[in-house]
């Protein structure tokens, strides 16, 4: 059974800790801050007050037996880098580390971090795209120029079927699912009639999505 450790119980680390625990995973939660550790005593399998830059502490905690450690220390870049370095030297198979900026990421890559994440930066991009395009409720990059977007159907599309609108032929986009009230219709049929309050999940090249959205939404 896979074991995890989360070092740093801020908003990001704390959320990972909660979500892994909610999915039944065994999590060791570690932080310098006593209040934060107490908050996680009821959530994680184990919650310990410790300084992750102390190698002896990491060894004592049996961190060596853990399959995947997440380092979610924020402002203290030094502590984040030192912790990541020691974890790899202790032989931890996989570490995911939160990076503060590009310089931080470069160093983490050089010292062997398996995954480097930029939660605020990436959510900022996503929200920027949602903001630019009012009708786009969510936007996820598939590649540099393709995305998955959630679009409110609106009055132009309400009452029409997918084959009427022929979105794929006209815009090269694919409506892969429709969210209607609390349901999700995956791979809707061509005969599906769109309702004004529907949310369409659309995949396509960014410029095609943009064109689709300008004309039909």
Q: Are 199 and 175 in contact (CB under 8 A)?
A: no
- For residues 116 and 118, give the distance between their C-alpha atoms in angstroms, rounded to a whole number: 7
Quick one: tokens of 70? 């997440």
Question: E strands, the chain, where?
Answer: 3-7, 26-31, 46-49, 68-71, 94-98, 115-117, 136-141, 146-152, 174-180, 183-186, 199-205
Interacting positions 46-65 with ligand ATP (CB under 6 A): 51-53
128 binds, among a copy of itself, ligand ATP, none (CB under 5 to 8 A by kind): a copy of itself
Residue 118 Cβ vs ligand ATP, minimum distance, rounded to whole Å: 10
Q: Which of 20, 69, 79, 86 binds ligand ATP (CB under 6 A)?
A: 79
9 binding ligand ATP? (CB under 6 A): yes
- For residues 38 and 129, give the distance between their C-alpha atoms in angstroms, rounded to a whole number: 38
Q: Which residues bind a copy of itself (CB under 8 A)?
A: 4, 10-16, 18-20, 23, 25, 68, 70, 96, 100-101, 117-125, 127-129, 131-132, 138, 140, 142-144, 146, 148, 168, 172-174, 176-177, 179, 182-184, 186-187, 201, 203-205
Radius of gyration of the CA atoms of the chain, in A = 22
Cβ-based nearer residue to a copy of itself, 187 or 196: 187
Contact residues for ligand ATP (CB under 6 A)?
7-13, 30-33, 36, 51-53, 72-76, 79, 120
């Amino acid at each position: 059974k896979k074991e995890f450790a989360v070092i740093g119980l801020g908003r990001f680390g704390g959320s990972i800790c909660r979500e892994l625990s909610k999915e039944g995973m065994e999590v060791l939660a570690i932080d310098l801050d006593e209040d934060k550790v107490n908050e996680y005593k009821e959530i994680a399998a184990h919650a310990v007050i410790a300084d992750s830059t102390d190698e002896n502490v990491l060894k004592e905690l049996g961190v060596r037996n853990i399959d995947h450690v997440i380092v979610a220390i924020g402002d203290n870049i030094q502590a984040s880098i030192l912790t990541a370095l020691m974890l790899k030297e202790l032989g931890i198979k996989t570490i995911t580390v939160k990076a503060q900026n590009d310089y931080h990421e470069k160093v983490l890559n050089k010292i062997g971090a398996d995954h480097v994440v930029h939660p605020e930066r990436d959510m900022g991009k996503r929200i920027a795209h949602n903001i630019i395009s009012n009708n786009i409720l969510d936007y996820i990059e598939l590649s540099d120029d393709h995305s998955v977007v959630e679009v409110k159907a609106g009055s132009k599309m309400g009452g029409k079927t997918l084959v009427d609108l022929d979105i794929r032929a006209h815009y090269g986009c694919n409506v892969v699912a429709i969210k209607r009230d609390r349901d999700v219709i995956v791979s809707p049929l061509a005969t599906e009639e769109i309702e004004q309050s529907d949310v369409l999940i659309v995949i396509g090249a960014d410029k095609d999505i943009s064109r689709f959205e300008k004309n039909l939404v």
